[in-house]
Amino acid sequence: KAGVTQTPRYLIKTRGQQVTLSCSPISGHRSVSWYQQTPGQGLQFLFEYFSETQRNKGNFPGRFSGRQFSNSRSEMNVSTLELGDSALYLCASSLQDQETQYFGPGTRLLVL
Amino acid sequence: GENVEQHPSTLSVQEGDSAVIKCTYSDSASNYFPWYKQELGKRPQLIIDIRSNVGEKKDQRIAVTLNKTAKHFSLHITETQPEDSAVYFCAASKGNQFYFGTGTSLTVIP
């Protein structure tokens, strides 16, 4: 099976702009989670979707939002970008609860 | 919510020596504990995992131990090799949410 894919791989934006990132899970996987990775902070949980429903949300401001489509592909959106949003955004998919999460290659976002 | 602490943040060992990374968790309901390896510029990859009904699991040079009473689990790498150099993350999960440690940067010196 093909692995988790994310697009785009790299993005450069300026403060105040918005951005949409996309994640395609492994075929058959219905759970998609999003993480923000920054040096020294590890992997910070953003949100998790299952069958188009957000089941969990991390401690991030409302500027961070997401959705999942009927084919399990997921998008996350960040509005009014701030310099501190510069990070690697990773998505991970799993077949079901408490099963291994498989990560995508990430989208590296730079906010200038 | 769950809180996962990971130590040490950096670790250097001589090739052939063992490396141990320790994590603690706060929520006794967590019952799945994966470990991920992330090489520079690459995605995290699962290397081993353990569930709460098991105390120890081995896979070649890698082993994980779990102490549910103390709420801590550890990754052991024996006979380290330069290709083991990477950042290692532990995680704890109950249900559908994963909580990650802050990572350990392991350097294996040839």
Q: What is the pLDDT of residue B108?
A: 98
| Contact assessment for residue B100 and residue B87, using Cβ atoms and an 8 Å cutoff | no
Single-letter amino acid code for the residue at A61: P
User: Long-range contacts of range B50-55, CB-CB < 8 Å, 24 or more positions apart?
Assistant: B51/A98
Cross-chain Cβ contact B97/A45 below 8 Å: yes
Q: What is the pLDDT of residue A65?
A: 97
- The average pLDDT across A22-27 equals 96
Is the model's pLDDT at A1 over the cut of 80? Answer: no
| Contact assessment for residue B21 and residue B9, using Cβ atoms and an 8 Å cutoff | no
Instruction: Centre a 10 Å sphere on the Cβ of residue A95 and count the other Cβ atoms it contains.
Output: 14
Interface test with B, best of A38, A55, A90, A103 (most B CBs within 10 A): A103
Q: Each residue of B89-101: pLDDT tens digit? A: 999 998 778 899 9
Tell me what the pLDDT averaged over chain A comes to: 94
Distance from CA of B26 to the nearest CA of A (A): 17
Q: Position of tokens 């990775």?
A: A37
Q: Each residue of B8-56: pLDDT tens digit? A: 999 999 999 999 999 999 999 999 999 999 999 899 999 999 998 889 9
Q: Position of tokens 């998790």?
A: A48
Is the model's pLDDT at A2 over the cut of 90? Answer: no
Assign A98 a pLDDT band (cuts: 50, 70, 90): low
Q: What is the pLDDT of residue A96?
A: 79
Cross-chain Cβ contact B98/A45 below 8 Å: yes
Is the model's pLDDT at B1 over the cut of 80? Answer: no
Is the model's pLDDT at B75 over the cut of 90? Answer: yes
Distance from CA of A54 to the nearest CA of B (A): 11
Q: Each residue of A28-79: pLDDT tens digit? A: 999 999 999 998 778 999 999 999 999 989 889 999 999 999 999 999 999 9
Of the two residues B104 and B94, the one the predictor is more confident about is B104
Distance from CA of A68 to the nearest CA of B (A): 16
Q: What is the pLDDT of residue B94?
A: 84
Q: Cis (ω within 30 of 0) for the bond into B8?
A: yes
| Contact assessment for residue B13 and residue B36, using Cβ atoms and an 8 Å cutoff | no
Cross-chain Cβ contact A45/B45 below 8 Å: no
